[in-house]
Amino acid sequence: MKFSWKIFLLCMGIYVVSLTVTGMVVTENTYKSLVKKEIERSLEEESNLHSTLALYLLNNQRIAVEKIELKNYSKSMVDMVKTDRNYLEIFDEKLNLLATNAPRAWFFSREELAIALKGQKNFVLRRDEEGLYLFVSNVLEIDEEKIILSLIKDISHVDHHRREQYLLFIRTGLIGLAFVALITWGLSKFLLKPFRQLSLTAKNIASGNYHVRVKVNRKDEVGLLAEQFNIMADKIEQKMNQLKAEGQRQQRFIDNLTHELRTPLTSIIGYAEYLLKAKYNPEVFKKSLSYIYSEGNRMSKVAKTLMDMILIRENPLQLNREKIMSLLIQVQNIMEVKAEKEGIILEVKGEDEEILLDKDLFKIVITNLVDNAINASSRGKKVTIGVEKTLEETCVFVMDEGKGMEEWETKKVIEPFYRIDKSRSRKEGGVGLGLAICYQIIEEHGARLKIESAVGVGTKMKIIFHGKCYKNFTSRSQVG
């Protein structure tokens, strides 16, 4: 069952129960109040009647100047009571009916008469198929002679009033029910509209439309829910984009790896087939075996480099506090020979700083970046290794004055097997995995790589350490 129907039926149930309880309480209280007033009025009427009849009999006794028999005046006393719905019965001491003006006889036990005979005025309510009656009984005594007066009052109008009030509640309740049903249905549609939008948006996201969002401009709990839902959708879209980009990178990696392996394998198979078919020639055999060896060696480098990437990802870093300037000077000494050979000026600058890092792996990163900078520079240019410090960050950089890169290349250069200068890289035996390994080592240190480059101006590779957040280390006691 839909939530809107649950709200609708719940409101209808509350309305019906509330109206029923209210109608019953009000009607029954009104009924009891009317009955009480009728009893009070009847008791007062009986008292007046009792006094009137007693005075009537005393007057007749004085006139007759002798003792009168009350039963002889019963008929005349009954005739004195002629009001609508009021009847009078007169009984003797033996509870025999002497006179009555009631239109009917009642065939049920009259206990109230015996009680009245003992001098106790009392009343009783009786109901039959024709209506509701109030019986008020009292004794009238003149000269030690007693008669019992039973005033009967028809109060069926009280029952009629109760029935009318119940019918009124039913009629007004049905009209109100229809009115409340329309209002409740409209309000449920209005109040649940944001939830329908949430449901539709969730359905769209589930079908792959991650860009859709809920448009709910409200400040209540529903608005807060919609806001949190949109935040969740943003996170999902961001994660899906990351997964998509990662999938594309993995596919490019597989494609590039396939290409890198296919090329040397083609050469190796081609030269091997040639050697199998050609006549023996020492010079040709030596040249062919040399090609086979170089291509096999390149395949070995690819396998070794891929294994290094796996080991870096799986093994924790050995982090220690290291003075970064001494490490940069070590790299300068290592790369000085190549720099002089290429006619490149290699210098180190900046203030010394202690950084928590894996010295051997970080030296590989800096060495690789310096090697790339030298390869990208022409004779007479300068390559700078240095440190920059701000309040929150420490930056280790390698800057050259070489060819530079387009902006789109700065995003692809860290991908495995990507080469900016493909002919030169192949000539020098590179496999295009250097920067990919560097990027992975930097990430494992909890740092980030930022590339600033302009074509014809040069490139600055910045390794930025922010605070003391490290992704993969052997002991927490080393951080701090």
Residue 195: predicted pLDDT: 77
Distance CA 212, CA 209 (A): 6
175 in a structural domain: no
CB 347 within 8 A of CB 385: yes
Distance CA 204, CA 202 (A): 5
* Structural domain range at position 392: 317-478
Residue 419: predicted pLDDT: 59
Does 213 lie in the same domain as 153? Answer: no
Per the DSSP assignment, residues forming a β-bridge with 329 are none
Distance CA 70, CA 145 (A): 7
Distance CA 152, CA 100 (A): 10
Does 332 lie in the same domain as 302? Answer: no
Does 323 lie in the same domain as 285? Answer: no
Which one-letter amino acid corresponds to residue 140?
L
Does 405 lie in the same domain as 344? Answer: yes
Does 256 lie in the same domain as 204? Answer: yes
Does 127 lie in the same domain as 63? Answer: yes
> SS3 for 132?
strand
178 in a structural domain: no
Q: Are strands 354-357 and 320-323 parallel, antiparallel or unpaired?
A: antiparallel
221 in a structural domain: yes
| pLDDT values of the chain reduced to their tens digit, one per residue, 480 residues | 677 788 888 888 898 899 899 989 999 999 999 999 999 999 998 899 889 888 888 887 766 656 667 777 888 888 887 777 888 999 988 888 889 888 888 777 888 899 998 889 999 998 888 789 999 999 988 877 888 999 999 998 998 999 999 999 899 989 988 988 888 888 888 777 777 788 888 888 888 787 888 777 777 777 788 888 888 888 888 888 888 877 776 666 665 566 556 666 777 788 788 778 777 778 878 878 887 887 777 677 666 666 665 666 666 777 888 899 999 999 898 888 889 989 999 999 988 888 888 888 888 889 889 988 998 899 999 999 999 988 888 999 999 998 888 888 887 777 766 655 544 444 444 445 567 778 888 888 889 899 998 888 899 999 999 865 444 444 333 333
Among residues 314, 332, 351, the one where a domain terminates is: 314
- Please report, for the domain that includes residue 125, its CATH number: 3.30.450.20
- Burial (CB < 10 A; 0-12, 13-18, 19+), residue 4, is middle
- Please report, for the domain that includes residue 351, its CATH number: 3.30.565.10
Distance CA 263, CA 51 (A): 135
291 in a structural domain: yes
Does 110 lie in the same domain as 226? Answer: no
302 in a structural domain: yes
Per the DSSP assignment, residues forming a β-bridge with 145 are 142
Cα dist from 92 to 17, 69, 96, 101, 118, whole Å:
54, 11, 5, 16, 13
Does 243 lie in the same domain as 226? Answer: yes
For 11, half-sphere exposure in the C-beta direction (CA atoms, 13 angstrom radius) is: 18
Cα distance from N-terminal residue to C-terminal residue, the chain = 58
Among the listed residues 140, 153, 142, the one whose alpha carbon sits nearest the alpha carbon of residue 91: 140
Does 452 lie in the same domain as 327? Answer: yes
Residue 385: predicted pLDDT: 94
Q: Which two tokens stand for residue 131?
A: 């209506």
171 in a structural domain: no
Q: Are strands 122-128 and 97-100 parallel, antiparallel or unpaired?
A: unpaired
Which one-letter amino acid corresponds to residue 42?
S
Among residues 294, 314, 334, the one where a domain terminates is: 314
366 in a structural domain: yes
Does 321 lie in the same domain as 298? Answer: no
Among residues 291, 314, 337, the one where a domain terminates is: 314
CB 329 within 8 A of CB 352: no
Per the DSSP assignment, residues forming a β-bridge with 356 are 321
Cα dist from 110 to 85, 96, 99, 116, 121, whole Å:
20, 11, 16, 10, 14
Residue 344: predicted pLDDT: 92
Distance CA 79, CA 150 (A): 14
DSSP string, 172-235: HHHHHHHHHHHHHHHHHHHHTHHHHHHHHHHHHHHTT-TT-------SSHHHHHHHHHHHHHHH
- In total, the chain counts a number of residues equal to 480
| Strand order across the beta sheet in which 131-142 lies | 97-100, 86-91, 145-154, 131-142, 122-128
CB 113 within 8 A of CB 137: yes
Does 324 lie in the same domain as 303? Answer: no
pTM of the model: 0.48
265 in a structural domain: yes
Q: Which two tokens stand for residue 367?
A: 């060495």
Does 288 lie in the same domain as 321? Answer: no
Domain count, the chain: 3
Per the DSSP assignment, residues forming a β-bridge with 320 are 357
DSSP string, 313-377: HHSPB--EEEEHHHHHHHHHHHHHHHHHHHT-EEEEES---EEEE-HHHHHHHHHHHHHHHHHHP
Residue 456: predicted pLDDT: 87
Per the DSSP assignment, residues forming a β-bridge with 127 are 132
